[in-house]
Structure 1
Amino acid sequence: MPVIDSRFSVLSEDFANDPYRFFAALREYAPVHHEPAIDSYFVSRYQDVKQVLTEHELFSTEMLTVRAEPVMRGRVLAQMTGAEHTAKRKIVVRAFTGPALRDQIHAIRANAAELIEPFLSRGRLDLVNDFGKPFGVHVTLDVLGLDKEDWQQIAVWHGGVAEFITSVVLTPERRRHCLDCAEQLEAYLVPVIEQRRRNPGHDLISRLCTAEFDGIAMSNRDVTALIINVLVAATEPADKTLALLFKHLVDHPEQMEQVRRDPDLLTAAIAETLRYTPPVQLIPRQVEKDVTVAGTTIAAGAVVFCMIGAANRDPDAFDAPDTFDIHRPDLGTARSFTAAAQHLAFGTGLHQCVGAAFARAEIETVAAMLLPLLDQVRHAPGSRYRETGLYTRGPAALPLEFTPVTGGVGCA
């Protein structure tokens, strides 16, 4: 286990290559690590992370004014509090639960079938780039009611927005690129918003356009910000979670076989994937008044990053935390996609991810479709596994081989 010394940096190449190597040392020797280059603190112990995420008056989301609002083109849900937060969160939640969620499952299946079809007879695909990334965007566009023919351009704009939000350090050139992407995405959305105001449908954009807060309809800017909020939140983790799930099951063939024999175990496998390798690794908060965390005093105004990956592998929260185990008794599969989740992959507290139920349905539905199709699935020979990302993290690619399927999806 590496020992944390004064030269350690979460911005280093070593950490970027494999942050999991450093988590135990961080929790033991530097549970509140200060990063001088960005004058921010990184908190790694489970209980400390939970404190930061649940004590909302002490640790606020004020930094999102700088970290998110410029590319979201307005305030996002995580910046809101009180009645405004409750009302607008409820509008978004309704689009991802109940009857709306049942309708979306049909869209999830249709998108998955269309995207996987060309690869079945070949017996090989890159689960990230050939399938996962386009799948995540397609499904989210269906939820929003946007034209999927524009998905590649929207994906480029979305990529710029996501880069701005998830970059801890951003060069002036990349910052300009991200802002340009956000401006072009906003210009694309405004005519859609105006059309939905005149002729609303059953999609999320229509619901946002016709909703009111305190008796006042939301402005185009309000609606734009919430659309981009949903686009990033629903798309960014989807391909990562799916690829990580398959990666872990391929690496643990006995657990893969158990999931194949008992499909009810799939939910547990997804929950354990979220704990073991959460796609969202960092959640930022701003300190509102001087506070002491794990013996370290943090001054008001400082930014604190909650290290979700480190917290989810804290032995004080989970037994044998560095082991992937879909049968672990301390995870609580039934509550893993609710506000009572033991893992912190969706955050916790007031600003816990609104799409947890949707994430479960999306990954569960597509994985249940793919598992029977990808028979004898294995890593492609010669492929080298690599993960990327500090804020959000997942495989750069996941080349797989499997027994070719003849006759298409319908024969499975």
Structure 2
Amino acid sequence: MSDTSMIAEDFADYLADNVGADPYPIFRRMRDEAPVVWAEPLQAWVLTRWDDITAMLEDGESYGPLMNRPGTSSIFGRAILQMSGDEHRRKDAILAKRLRGPRYLGSTIEEIVSGLVSEYGDQLPVAPETADLRTGLTEPVPLGAIAELMDMGAASNFRTWYNDIVAAGTSNFAQDPVVHAKGEAARDELYDFVTPSIAERRTCPGDELLSDLCSMEYEGERLSDDEVRSFTAFLLSAGIETTDRALANLVKHLILQPEQWQRLKDDPSLASSAATEILRFRPPVQAIVRMAKQDMEVCGTMIPAESKLMGFIASANHDPDRFDNPGVFDVGRFEGAERPNYTPIGPVRAFGAGPHTCTGSLLAKLEMERTLEYLVDRFDHFEFAGDVPPDTGIVLRSPETLDVVLHPAEAA
């Protein structure tokens, strides 16, 4: 068996039993010895080096969105991820106005996010009780922010819809029909919930994101109701995943490395750098998918046109050719240089690169920073309520729960 075949087999073993596993040793071997391998369980060519993944993300002539495959497109419909060229630029601009524009980001969104962090943070039980930070803080904050930005109101089923849609749309590599059916059912319930709001915005638009989508025209025609619903389902999941899982990963590693938590207590201004570092060190989105538009050669491997490629940004973010001491978690690594990593030009690939860089990256940045600042201000320290929660997931990776004991800071 060749070295490449052995590495591909070891990678398949990780995919089959990833709960609590450490993927970084196999990523290192792949970068060093087999930077392009065929992963049978994923039905994809896997890339692991920073340069190759960056090329995949930035080269729109050679790589494009993955279309008409099971998973994302069948759950979300034709959302922004499946668009390219002028259509993608113009429709993405509608989202960018609300999610990246200084008018909204610096006032409206800041107020929404800060309010949500305080609302949910103040409800967290403290020592000696146990708090699940995922269900109590890191998930409801971004979920609430998206709901408010779209003026959709509260729905008791939002969390269930979100969890089922994400499971079917991004993580169902085995194409489990039960998982897929639950995702479709959750999507349909969400569509039923939002359809009356779409009808209302058609006749009486407001000053929020849902009205923007309902009023948008492309090639002389407004988005259809189906398109608006697809955008809504996509935003509900994409607008939550990064913040939720990244904060879970961040808290986990601040507990595992208390000296890094103490650095934040001593200098709270490092919150922005710490948020950026966890996106590099343990990115919540481990891989990004593309399709080869043409036959190509990558690192000496021939890849046929229309092949599926997965760039494991978790590996790229640990590439020693791009980052010094990549295996070290350092909350001060990006001090003073955080913002470029939330744009197409930054080295951290947590939000992709090129034309499909995540439009909501600055919203995620704000949510992560305000949440971490709140934790630093309110709590002296925290600890796991039981065993260290294992990371799980292939594309989306974090602890599924985060049960901790929170010790409040003494009043000044």
TM-score normalised over the length of structure 2: 0.91
Q: Which is worse superposed, 194-203 or 329-338?
A: 329-338
Which residue number in structure 2 is paired with residue 19 of structure 1? 23
Structure 2 counterpart of 1:137, from 136, 143, 168: 143
Give distance in 1, aligned partners of 2:195 and 2:18: 43
State the match for 2:342 in structure 1. Answer: 337
Q: Which amino acid aligns with 2:179?
A: R
Q: Which runs of 5+ in 2 are unaligned?
A: none
Q: Secondary structure at the match of 1:236?
A: helix
1:181 corresponds to which of 158, 168, 186: 186
Q: Choose the corresponding residue for 2:326, options 318, 321, 328.
A: 321
Asked if residue 125 in structure 1 is aligned to residue 131 in structure 2, the reply is yes
- In the alignment, which of 262, 265, 268 is matched to residue 270 of structure 2? 265
**Residue of structure 1 equivalent to 2:118:** 113
Cα deviations across residues 124-178 of structure 1 (Å, max 9, x unaligned)?
A: 4121133222223222211111122x1x412212222211221222212222222
Change (3 A) 1:16 1:57: farther
Which range moves more in the overlay, 183-192 or 231-240? Answer: 183-192
Partner of 2:122: helix, strand, or coil?
A: helix
Mapping of residues 65-214 of structure 1, within 5 Å: 66-72=70-76, 74-97=77-100, 98-101=102-105, 102-122=107-127, 124-148=130-154, 150=155, 152-167=156-171, 168-214=173-219
TM-superposed deviation, 1:392: 0.7
Q: Is 1:7 the counterpart of 2:12 in the alignment?
A: no
Task: Tell me the CA shift for residue 237 of structure 1.
Answer: 1.7
Q: Report the alpha carbon displacement of residue 404 of structure 1 after superposing the two structures with TM.
A: 4.1
> Hey, what's the Cα distance between the residues in 2 that align with 1:334 and 1:177?
38
Distance 2:279 2:324 in 1: 16
Letter in 1 for 2:9: R
Deviation string, structure 1 residues 267-310 (Cα, Å, up to 9, x no partner): 11111100000111111111111111111111112100010101
* 1:376 aligned to which of 381, 384, 394: 381
Tell me the residue number matched to 1:290. Answer: 295
Contact 2:142 2:243 in 1 (8 A): yes
Displacement of 1:17 in angstroms is: 2.7
Distance (whole Å) between structure 2 residues aligned to residue 52 and residue 340 of structure 1: 14
Aligned equivalents of 1:106 and 1:262: distance in 2?
24
Change (3 A) 1:401 1:280: same
Residue 17 of structure 1 aligns to a residue in which SS?
Answer: coil
Sort the Cα spacing of 1:156 and 1:317 in 2 relative to 1 into closer, same or farther, 3 A: same
Cα distance in 1 between the residues matched to 2:241 and 2:253: 19
Identity %: 28
Question: Tell me, what secondary structure is at the counterpart of 1:319?
Answer: coil
2:259 equivalent among 254, 260, 263: 254
Is the alpha carbon distance of 1:64 and 1:318 closer, same or farther for their aligned partners in structure 2, counting shifts above 3 Å?
farther
Offset at residue 360 of structure 1 (A): 0.7
Tell me how far apart the structure 1 counterparts of residues 321 and 336 of structure 2 sit (CA, whole Å): 13
Deviates more, 1:326-335 or 1:291-300: 326-335
Tell me whether 199-208 or 122-131 shows the greater mean CA deviation: 122-131
Please, which moves more after superposition, 44-53 or 195-204? 195-204
**Shift of residue 312 of structure 1?**
0.5
* Cross-structure match for 1:396: 400
The alpha-carbon distance between structure 1 residues 157 and 375, as it changes in their structure 2 partners (threshold 3 A), is: same
Distance in 2 separating the partners of 1:311 and 1:15: 21
Counterpart Cα distance in 1 of 2:248 and 2:334: 24
Offset at residue 24 of structure 1 (A): 0.6
TM-score, structure 1 normalization: 0.91
- TM-superposed CA distance for 1:331, in Å, is 9.8
- Structure 1 outlier segments of 4+, above 6 Å: none
Aligned residues: 402
Structure 2 distance, partners of 1:90, 1:180, is 30
The one-letter code sitting in structure 1 at the alignment partner of 2:84 is: T
SS in structure 2 at match of 1:33: strand
Matched, 1:45 2:43: no
Question: Whole-Å Cα distance in 2 between the matches of residues 235 and 59 of structure 1?
Answer: 26
Q: Could you tell me whether the CA contact under 8 Å between 2:8 and 2:37 is conserved in 1? A: no
Give the Cα separation in 2 of the matches to 1:125 and 1:331.
32
Q: Indicate how the Cα distance of structure 1 residues 121 and 388 shifts in structure 2: closer, same or farther if over 3 A, else same.
A: closer
SS of 2:288's partner is strand
SS in 1 for 2:38: strand
SS in 2 for 1:47: helix
Structure 1, residues 341-394: CA drift from partner, whole Å, max 9, x if none? 1110000001010011111111111211221112222233x3232111111111
Give, in whole Å, the separation in 1 of the partners of 2:145 and 2:42. Answer: 36
Q: Please give the root-mean-square deviation of Cα atoms over the aligned residues, in Å.
A: 2.3
CA distance in 2, matches of 1:139, 1:367: 16
- The CA deviation string for residues 91-114 of structure 1, in whole angstroms up to 9 with x for no partner, is 101111322222122111222222
Residue aligning to 2:361: 356
